[in-house]
Structure 1
Amino acid sequence: MMKYGMAQKFVPEAAELCENSLKKFISLIGTVDKLLVISGAGISTESVPGIPDYRSKDVGLYARIAHKPIYFQDYMRSNRCRQRYWSRNFLAWPRFGQAAPNINHYALSKWEASDRFQWLITQNVDGLHLKAGSKMVTELHGSALQVKCTTCDYIESRQTYQDRLDYANPGFKEEHVAPGELAPDGDIILPLGTEKGFQIPECPSCGGLMKTDVTFFGENVNMDKVNFCYEKVNECDGILSLGTSLAVLSGFRFIHHANMKKKPIFIVNIGPTRADHMATMKLDYKISDVLKEM
């Protein structure tokens, strides 16, 4: 029960479940021959340990604290900025790296067995879809489970880099216990100044700057991924959007593209989204309450 409570901490209050609305929603989706799914942070809020989303009312990260994400340009030009990023990420990793998929991730993984399942585009970087067994998935914003050199594209696992960070900063994790909560991108909030003197291992191949293999704010999404996702939108007959406000253009553009092509759009999200006016039907229910009936 305690673990369940931890996960539910970041699930916003949902509308009361209406069986008739749910049946209608499922019936309408049943008319779609090739279904494309887009997922966001809201699909992971039921996981353990609790991973908040950014924008949900009352429980989203932005609603509770003055969280300012690190921008790509600042990361690349400022060592102090990189120290702040990696010191927090280093302390958060043991919990973030152990985060487990929930019923939503496993449900979508099972959908791949159906000929009606077209593809999954996720805006999440937590890797939980892959942990649940999904293979027909594009991680639009990359993965926090690996680290990449910004110069030569050398890649290693996040755990391998964690070991190198630990070796370079003896005693840091013991001195700075991290009681704070996780952010959706695997960050944790620490007092300013905690990062002073934190050592960041360079690329073992070329000596370049290492960065988690995720798209930072201010950084461009990989265009090969974007073009591939547009192809999947063109091939599908309808889209199901799960757990995202679609506030960020990188995900919204696919919904907009589908709408321009008159494809039906279905949304499950607690709270408003940028595409509500485009939706064939929308439910403000907890995602697991919907997926377990589909």
Structure 2
Amino acid sequence: MRISVPHLPHALVGRAPVPPVPRELAIDRIATFLKPGNVAVLTGAGVSVDSGVKAYRGKDGRYMNPDYRPIFYQQLVEDSERGHSFRQRYWLRSYIGFPRVHLTQPNPTHYALAALQHASVITQLITQNVDGLHSRAISRVWDEAQIRQRLLELHGTIFKVQCMYGHVYDRGTFQTWFSEVNPHWHAYLDEVERVGEQPKTNPDGDVVLDASVSYADVVVPPCPGCIKEGRKTSIVKPDFVFFGESLRDEVKARSIRIVEEADRLFLLGTTLATYSAFRCVSQALVYQLRKPVLFLNVGPTRADDLPGVEKLEVPAGDVMRDVVRRVVGTRANYDPILREMLLSGVVKRPADSG
């Protein structure tokens, strides 16, 4: 079975750029779309770029790193020497990249969306991102139970690790285990953090290391839960969906239900290259539902030629704060939570964000 990295249709990649929408016009249109409420939102990697997280694709739809070669799910969990070598490569690169993702902070768009969640304009938010930035933004006002009810991390999270037998661990704990059994790489990571010369990091935390790096000495920590049960396995993975891995049925069903129960669908910062995300748009447009769909993105997407999808070529970070003010009106002045959120967020775009 051949599995490939999701790509946009060739007819879209490299298409002549569409002129950006004037800022004031975009703010007015988005606010008008959102104001009736009961909105479902779907976000992608483009929303986190202002936080310093590198997106997979540039404005022309091409991969930012043309040599990008991810490890597939089948490779990572293969119970063989070859699978072990894949895990050595993956976990070293992820171990080095995780501290940077862990320290990343929500940007103004995350807080603008959180403000609309707090104001009950956005009833459900689906994100393809595994960086946890949406939950960090809304956690100022919601507890974990509310976040689980109203926020769906479609592809999982980088902050948990699971073994093939279902034991789940906090990622910080796994980082400590990895450091203990790989003192040489722990020292390397300390030096990287001291000098501040972090390797290029992909949105899932996997860094790019020099081709000369050998992974042969990397030790992948075994699962303590399995050891207690009388077995030993180091087949562990981050708790997110890898390329080639199927979305869990309950997650797929929930994403469809969210779209069906909302009155409209708002998309930001995604090319919809993965079918798990594209499915949400397709569901909104089926004949029985015909939901209004508004798309905010810069560059080509898989939905560009779909009838019923309205697209605005404008960066979310340029408009979303003012969109919130337009939607909530004077409440932005007297609600302390809204006021704080509209003043929050870092802006630290990657140097090679395209």
- CA deviations 1:6-31 (Å, max 9, x no partner) are xxxxxx9983634224313322333x
**1:172-217 residue CA offsets vs partner (Å, 9 max, x unmatched):** 1434746321100011011344322100001101133221101000
Per the alignment, residue 51 of structure 1 pairs with 53
**CA–CA distance in structure 1, aligned partners of residues 55 and 46 of structure 2:** 6
Corresponding residue for residue 281 of structure 1: 310
In the alignment, the residues of structure 2 paired with residue 173 and residue 190 of structure 1 have an alpha-carbon distance, to the nearest angstrom, of 15
Indicate which of 275, 278, 285 corresponds to 1:252. 278
Q: What is the CA-CA distance between 1:222 and the residue it aligns to? A: 1.3
Q: CA RMSD in A?
A: 2.1
Q: CA deviation at 1:258?
A: 0.2
Q: 1:236: Cα distance to partner?
A: 0.6
Partner of 1:194: 214
Runs of 4 or more consecutive aligned structure 1 residues displaced over 6 Å after TM superposition: none
Contact 2:59 2:300 in 1 (8 A): no
Residue type at the aligned position of 1:242? L
TM-score (norm. length: structure 1): 0.88
1:265 and 1:278 in contact (8 A); partners too: no
Q: Which has the larger radius of gyration?
A: 2
Residue 266, structure 1, aligned to residue 294, structure 2: yes
Q: How far is the alpha carbon of 1:61 from its aligned partner?
A: 8.3
Which residue in the other structure is 2:153 paired with? 139
Asked if 2 retains the 8 angstrom alpha-carbon contact of 1:252 and 1:274, the reply is yes
Q: Partner of 1:8 in structure 2?
A: none
Instruction: Report the equivalent of 1:221.
Output: 247
Q: Quote the residue 2:336 is aligned against.
A: none
Bigger mean CA deviation after superposition, 213-222 or 186-195: 186-195
Percent identical among aligned pairs is 35
Query: Which ranges in structure 2 are unaligned for 5 or more consecutive residues?
Result: 1-16, 140-146, 227-231, 324-354
Choose 283-292 or 189-198, whichever is displaced more. Answer: 189-198
| Structure 1 residues 1-294: aligned runs within 5 Å | 15=20, 17-30=22-35, 32-47=36-51, 50-57=52-59, 62-77=63-78, 78-133=83-138, 135=147, 136-151=150-165, 153-175=166-188, 177=192, 179-192=198-211, 193-206=213-226, 207-208=232-233, 209-260=235-286, 261-276=289-304, 277-294=306-323
Contact 1:36 1:236 in 2 (8 A): yes
Report the counterpart of residue 5 of structure 1 in structure 2.
none
**Residue ranges of structure 1 left out of the alignment (5+ in a row):** 1-11
Conserved 8 A contact 1:53-1:61: no
**Could you list the per-position Cα deviations for residues 24-60 of structure 1 after superposition, in whole angstroms to 9, with x for gaps in the alignment?**
3322333x4410000100000000xx211112237x8
Deviation per CA, 1:68-96, whole angstroms, max 9, x where unpaired?
11100011111110000001011111211
Structure-2 separation of matches of 1:26 and 1:257: 23
Letter in 1 for 2:163: C
Given that 2:23 and 2:319 are in contact with CA atoms closer than 8 Å, whether structure 1 keeps it comes out as: no
What is the identity, as a one-letter code, of the residue corresponding to 2:56? Y
TM, length-normalised to structure 2 = 0.74
The 10-residue stretch of structure 1 (120-129 or 92-101) with the greater mean CA deviation from structure 2:
92-101
